[in-house]
Structure 1
Amino acid sequence: MILDKDFKVSEIDNRIYGSFIEHLGRAVYEGIYEPGHPLADEQGFRKDVIGLVKELNVPLVRYPGGNFVSGYNWEDGVGPVGERPRRLELAWRTIETNEVGTNEFADWAKKVNSEVNMAVNLGTRGIDAARNLVEYCNHPAGTYWSDLRVSHGYKAPHKFKTWCLGNEMDGPWQIGHKTAAEYGRIATEAAKVMKWVDPTIELVACGSSNSAMPTFADWEATVLDHTYDHVEYISLHQYYGNKEDDTANFVARSLDMDAFIRSVTAICDYIKAKKHSKKTINLSFDEWNVWYHSRDADSKRDPWQIAPPQLEDIYTHEDAILVGCMLITMLRHSDRVKIACLAQLVNVIAPIMTEKGGAAWKQTIFYPYMHASAYGRGVALNPIISSPKYDSKDFTDVPYLESTAVYNEAADELTIFAVNRDLEDSLYLECDIRNFDGYRVVEHIVLENGDVKARNTAGNQASVAPHNNGNAEVKDGFVQSMLPKFSWNVIRLAK
């Protein structure tokens, strides 16, 4: 591996380390919010969860959905809590109590030092509700909706900067599913009036729900044909699973993510050329993760419960390895991927799990996400890598070494993120850093486990946890290290 200060991809937008909270399962109720919990604060938010989210240093949290938003009346979630209606929530077939809504979530986001990435309903609602929500949230005062917010106890506007124009509108499962042309038109008109209310906001148009959708590529091209002049981003969503129990193939799926990003980037640039535009549309990968463990249990769930356990994947060591590879992939494309949201944050396909009335703990995927967020701030470098490769069921030429590096010039720090995909053997890494004169290894963090299916649970919260006993060192301008088999590595260097 060769690193050079001048081989740059891009300055990394910190929002690439964002996450997502949806009114789904126990993400909100019993997740971030549990008034009866011994560690609940004065608003009912769990302080132990707040602490764990702050460890992750999450800059942006998408809210309130997700499929949920396509049937959501935002007005149900503001005003006196005792007067809020209970609704049948059709996306996930539960009952929504509306105890937590826009203002409460804004308060929680401040507690965890995050911004809110707000979504509007373009399924059952439309232009009018979207502009009213922007006015309620962002206009200072002196109008109906802004004064209503003030009357609810929030004198200062929330000033939400980033907004999603609906969610997965290409999916037949979506409430208010639309064709690309139908969605493109309503998204354009909603975008116009939202920006008339607040010209400072940035908008995310819905891309495909995943790259396997039959409408993929056509959807992006049509939607961008309509929305190009009015939005800043288009979204990507992708989840991976290992139902076949083929670990080597599973951890290669980040190559599919790489191809997805390249394809959507190409479509954006095609529409840019078609429109003779000087504007560049960037990407918001605002749903990504591993998701498959809980699907069988969810298919047996009885409907119309309040905050039942849903999508509660209990993650393995191999899941953490793929999550690390996916983070590396997005950093490599940080010139275009400016926002990303690990979906989700608490209990629902999440790095953080909770027990009602009990403990909160870190899942295996917590660690690569935390390390990337903590040490991946700065400029993404473009490494030159030569690695042995393998073939799997769905992929050819899969590199055993998946790696990238981030240079923080202000702090004189260089961080190498590296995954060894090899299930049997350690991998010798030699990295040329002669352009980084005087840098030494500060720490070599390793996440490894002899059991690829090892998990963290309430009873054994540290079954999979990182250590800092890696053996990386600098000799004659080269980082040298043995990367343990099937491991996630963070090699931190400083001048």
Structure 2
Amino acid sequence: MKHLKFSLLLGLLSCIFSCNTQQSAFYQASVTINTNAPSKTYNPMIFGGFIEHFGKQIYGGVFDPGSLLSDENGFRTDVIEALNELKVPVIRWPGGCFVDGYHWMNGVGNNRQSTDDIRWGVIEPNTFGTHEFIELCRLLDAEPYICHNGLADVQEMSDWIQYSNATEGELAEMRKKNGDLNPLSVQIWSVGNEREGRDYIHKVRDAGSAMKEMDSSIMVTCSGTHGGSNIDPYLFESAGKYLDYISVHEYWIENWQKHSTPSYMSCMMLSEKPESYIKRVINQIQTAETEGHIKKGQIKIAFDEWNLRSWHHPGFQRFEKVDYDDPEIIKLIKARDKSLNPSIYNLSDALFAASFLNSCIRNTDYVSMANIAPLVNQTGPIYVHPNGIVKRTHFHTIAMYVNELEEYFSKAEINAEKLSDGKDSVSVIDAIATVDKKGENWSISLVNRHPSDNIDCKVTIGDEQLNGIYRAKILTGESTNTYNDIEHPNRVIPRDVELKFTKGVVKLPPHSLTIVHVKGDF
């Protein structure tokens, strides 16, 4: 019956896209692209990812020695193939909160010993360390981004950079003995994760100075704001001259302790919050620029943990070793698997991800990096199980943006009706316009957030209304709650269609993401 319903849906979409019946010029939304304003490149690093030693992100995720699906080095080949589809440009590792108890020397060499993960209450085998992380990045042609233990001393931080990047010296020789004769060339480093206060800011200042003295080519970031907090202005005053980025984190559904699955409409009411958060951070950076604490354009935003939903970890984080045999601890750790439930990740996640990425692109002057958290398992776009993978709905959003958009962003004005849920409301349409270097070929992303209604949307490029049939790719599902799972991995996948515009107006199906391609002389 479900297959019949979806076939009927596809038939309806086919009619919407390509049938030749007369279409009304009435519209409920408009997207007007300003071709006179200069186009800007946006940084593809916004399509980055994050992996932490938590749950099944690394062990049983990207790294699973002994699995029939892994290569000789322990990397899951199906996961690598999927991540390559996302063209992941940068990966942040090893944490996250995990990093507060991590000491990098435990994860290099041939005689590694297991250690207690005091943050997450498990045993860390240390079989995935610096060299394995670099190998993962090599397999993906991704830039490695390492986050330091913010509680470690400055010397430990400098030593990790010397081990990774130096051509000579005691630690460089250690790296060579451990299998990498050439420098690992890690260019992006963070001084800790989600820390704050004057002592931390002084640590950022001292570590930033020492790290750049060790390798002047590196880029440094630190904890700036997470959970909606403001950046302490003293950070810019004291440590600003050593920073290239400021790290921003947010998960808009906080499932840390209590797990919840808000409705589709509740999720859509959150979809404009990333832009508000980004603009607030930009204002704080610009204030620091105006006050002379940092140079104009010096510090960019690294939104290096983001997702609609946080992962679930009731009873944690902690700062002490736990009794691994305690039934209550075992129960709490098992509860983390709630985040793996496939039915959670529906069209809410797909469309929220599109809105988040649109916000980054629109604010490209300051947003230079974003890392979905995590890349694999928990709430990430890829679910990994012993026999394969499932590409969740937001996987396809990211894949569409990476593979379908052009490299330049052009300003677009959106006018649309409001979609309301109680006292909250957002624009029913979101959009982004991208164009190639010659300014000839366009890829336009159109999001219809409405749960049940088609929306007539008028699209104008410069003074020209779109008319005719255009190639497009659409992501939608039978309902807002449609999801992919092991048994049905392709219920929500992008589909190639032909999209009909009449006097600029196109009919966008409900709960959908559409990317339309407009080539040459339109």
The question of whether the paired residues in 2 share the 8 Å contact of 1:236 and 1:286 is answered with yes
Name the counterpart of 1:221: 233
SS at match of 1:84: coil
- Are residues 48 and 210 of structure 1, via their aligned partners in 2, closer, same or farther at CA, if it must alter by over 3 Å? same
Amino acid at match of 2:154: I
Where does 1:468-483 land on structure 2 (aligned, <5 Å)? Answer: 468-469=496-497, 471-473=499-501, 478=504, 480-483=505-508
Deviation of the 1:277 alpha carbon: 4.4
Determine if the alignment matches structure 1 residue 350 to structure 2 residue 380: yes
Question: What are the ranges of 5 or more consecutive residues in structure 1 without an aligned counterpart?
Answer: 171-178
Deviation of the 1:310 alpha carbon: 7.3
Inter-partner Cα distance in structure 2 for 1:137 and 1:306: 35
Name the counterpart of 1:418: 446
Inter-partner Cα distance in structure 1 for 2:465 and 2:166: 51
From 379, 387, 392, the equivalent of 1:363 is: 392
Name the counterpart of 2:491: 463
- Are residues 98 and 394 of structure 1, via their aligned partners in 2, closer, same or farther at CA, if it must alter by over 3 Å? farther
Determine if the alignment matches structure 1 residue 284 to structure 2 residue 309: no
Inter-partner Cα distance in structure 1 for 2:215 and 2:465: 48
Inter-partner Cα distance in structure 2 for 1:412 and 1:35: 48
CA displacement, residues 343-375 of structure 1 (integer Å, 9 cap, x when unaligned): 11111321111112x111201110111111223
- Are residues 313 and 193 of structure 1, via their aligned partners in 2, closer, same or farther at CA, if it must alter by over 3 Å? farther
CA displacement, residues 9-39 of structure 1 (integer Å, 9 cap, x when unaligned): 6311111110011111111111111122222
Name the counterpart of 1:173: none
Deviation of the 1:5 alpha carbon: 3.3
The question of whether the paired residues in 1 share the 8 Å contact of 2:303 and 2:369 is answered with yes
Where does 1:67-216 land on structure 2 (aligned, <5 Å)? Answer: 67-80=97-110, 83-123=111-151, 125-140=152-167, 142-170=168-196, 179=197, 181-211=198-228, 216=229
From 470, 473, 491, the equivalent of 2:516 is: 491
- Tell me the TM-score normalized by structure 1: 0.89
Amino acid at match of 1:139: A
Name the counterpart of 1:11: 41
From 369, 381, 384, the equivalent of 2:413 is: 384
Amino acid at match of 1:389: K
**Range moving further from structure 2, 323-332 or 70-79:** 323-332
Inter-partner Cα distance in structure 2 for 1:71 and 1:55: 33
Inter-partner Cα distance in structure 2 for 1:116 and 1:77: 16
CA displacement, residues 278-330 of structure 1 (integer Å, 9 cap, x when unaligned): 33221110011122575679997617989984743531122212111111111
Name the counterpart of 1:373: 402
- Are residues 78 and 290 of structure 1, via their aligned partners in 2, closer, same or farther at CA, if it must alter by over 3 Å? same
- Are residues 394 and 260 of structure 1, via their aligned partners in 2, closer, same or farther at CA, if it must alter by over 3 Å? farther
Determine if the alignment matches structure 1 residue 432 to structure 2 residue 432: no
CA displacement, residues 122-160 of structure 1 (integer Å, 9 cap, x when unaligned): 12x1211111011111112x2011111011110111111
Question: What are the ranges of 5 or more consecutive residues in structure 2 without an aligned counterpart?
Answer: 1-30, 255-259, 318-327
Name the counterpart of 1:176: none
Inter-partner Cα distance in structure 2 for 1:313 and 1:277: 45
Amino acid at match of 1:190: A
- Are residues 301 and 31 of structure 1, via their aligned partners in 2, closer, same or farther at CA, if it must alter by over 3 Å? farther
Inter-partner Cα distance in structure 2 for 1:297 and 1:452: 32
Deviation of the 1:115 alpha carbon: 1.1
Amino acid at match of 2:165: N
SS at match of 1:196: helix
Determine if the alignment matches structure 1 residue 47 to structure 2 residue 77: yes
Deviation of the 1:220 alpha carbon: 3.4
- Are residues 97 and 390 of structure 1, via their aligned partners in 2, closer, same or farther at CA, if it must alter by over 3 Å? same
Deviation of the 1:437 alpha carbon: 11
Amino acid at match of 2:398: Y
Deviation of the 1:391 alpha carbon: 3.3
CA displacement, residues 382-428 of structure 1 (integer Å, 9 cap, x when unaligned): 101111113334634x1101111111225943111111111121111
Deviation of the 1:442 alpha carbon: 5.4
- Are residues 394 and 94 of structure 1, via their aligned partners in 2, closer, same or farther at CA, if it must alter by over 3 Å? farther
Inter-partner Cα distance in structure 1 for 2:251 and 2:498: 30
- Are residues 392 and 250 of structure 1, via their aligned partners in 2, closer, same or farther at CA, if it must alter by over 3 Å? same
- Tell me the TM-score normalized by structure 2: 0.84
The question of whether the paired residues in 2 share the 8 Å contact of 1:429 and 1:481 is answered with yes
Amino acid at match of 1:360: I
Aligned residues: 472
The question of whether the paired residues in 2 share the 8 Å contact of 1:415 and 1:493 is answered with yes
- Are residues 247 and 311 of structure 1, via their aligned partners in 2, closer, same or farther at CA, if it must alter by over 3 Å? closer
**Percent identity of the aligned residues?**
24
- RMSD value, Cα: 2.6
Amino acid at match of 1:207: G
Amino acid at match of 2:172: S
Structure possessing the higher radius of gyration over alpha carbons = 2
